[in-house]
């Protein structure tokens, strides 16, 4: 398909996609803020536990 024929559809789709992403981000901002406030310390603890587990596994493997 020639570029000149598909370009307007591609530009329209890009605009719609950007608007949908921006709308979803705006709608989820308050939920994300609350989740990070309450779940941030839990997420940090889980991340540290995973990192420690990987380090121990790598040391044991040698």
Q: Which two tokens stand for residue 43?
A: 């997420």
Question: What's the pTM?
Answer: 0.49
Which position has the token pair 């992403």?
21
Could you read off the pLDDT of 3-55 as tens digits, one per residue?
889 999 999 999 999 999 999 989 888 887 777 787 888 888 999 999 999 99
In the chain, at which residue ranges do the beta strands (DSSP E only) sit? none
């Amino acid at each position: 398909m020639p570029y000149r024929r598909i370009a307007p559809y591609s530009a329209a789709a890009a605009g719609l996609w950007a608007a949908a992403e921006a709308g979803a981000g705006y709608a989820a901002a308050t939920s994300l803020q609350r989740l990070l406030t309450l779940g941030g310390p839990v997420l940090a603890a889980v991340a540290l536990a995973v990192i420690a587990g990987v380090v121990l596994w790598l040391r044991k493997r040698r």
